[in-house]
Amino acid sequence: MPSIKSTEGLERVVFYHSAHDKSRAARTRVMQFCSTLDVPATPVELSDAFNLLEIAARIRQDVVKVRQEGLGPIRFNIAGGTRLMSSAALLVCVLEGIPTTYVHDETYKEIQLPLIRMNYADRLSERQKEILAYLVAHRERPPSETALARALGVHKSTMNHHVKQLLEKGVVEVAPDPSDTRAHLIRAAPGAELLVG
């Protein structure tokens, strides 16, 4: 609520909460508070408030939608909710370059975490993003490096160079191919969806 009060020109509030009874009770209070300020509010109940990546994916999807609709600018208060909800929100804020606020538990003082308004994934080259997007889309059936090169129309040695760089950055993993002991499969690391989704 301190962030709702302190945000100038606030047009809309979207807030995330767990399915816990206490959280639902707090939802009612936030809705009432927003109603007194005449600010429309949308509560989003998270079915699993302890699945970090799932929460981050949901928040990111909403952020992308708001941006596509031309609404904004966005400001995020990450202080509430479970630990994982808070970490998931911070992840999205870093990846999407969203100004982020923290509210002190006891003093209710707001702290700004001025994340640079960058697209974090821009530190990957276009080709690296393309490779990662392909691996995310084929997460269930990860390709070998050769198959990956063929699928994206890239020479094998070029693909090897990109895969090495993605490995160094920690966004892909290499796993042995269960059907061929000499071969390896390339897989997107967990959470890579958040970089290229």
Per DSSP, which regions of the chain are E strands? Answer: 13-18, 41-46, 76-77, 100-103, 110-113, 172-177, 180-188
Amino acid at 87: S
Find the angle CA(128)-CA(134)-CA(139) to the nearest 5 degrees. 120
Q: Give the binding range for another protein (CB under 8 A) out of 36-44, 106-114, 144-152, 178-186.
A: 106-114
Least distance in angstroms from the C-beta of 93 to another protein: 9
Quote the CA–CA distance of 197 and 191 in Å, as a whole number.
Answer: 10
Amino acid at 72: G
Binding map of another protein across residues 58-97, x = CB under 8 A, - = no contact: --------------------xx---xx-xx--xx--xx--
29 touching another protein, by CB under 8 A: no
Q: Pull the structure tokens for residue 73.
A: 């600018």
Within residues 170-189, the interface with another protein by CB under 8 A covers 170-171, 189
Which is closer to another protein, CB of 34 or CB of 98?
Answer: 98
53 touching another protein, by CB under 8 A: yes
Which is closer to another protein, CB of 109 or CB of 150?
Answer: 109
Nearest-CA neighbor of 64 among 18, 95, 85? Answer: 95
Q: Pull the structure tokens for residue 13.
A: 């509030």
Quote the CA–CA distance of 150 and 121 in Å, as a whole number.
Answer: 24
Residue 47 in 3-state DSSP? coil
Q: Give the binding range for another protein (CB under 8 A) out of 9-17, 19-27, 133-141, 167-175.
A: 167-175
Given a contact cutoff of 8 angstroms between Cβ atoms, the answer to whether 150 and 159 are in contact is no
50 touching another protein, by CB under 8 A: yes
Least distance in angstroms from the C-beta of 153 to another protein: 25
52 touching another protein, by CB under 8 A: yes
| Residues near another protein, by CB under 8 A | 50, 52-53, 78-79, 83-84, 86-87, 90-91, 94-95, 99, 102, 104-106, 111-114, 116-118, 120, 123-124, 168-171, 189-192, 194-195
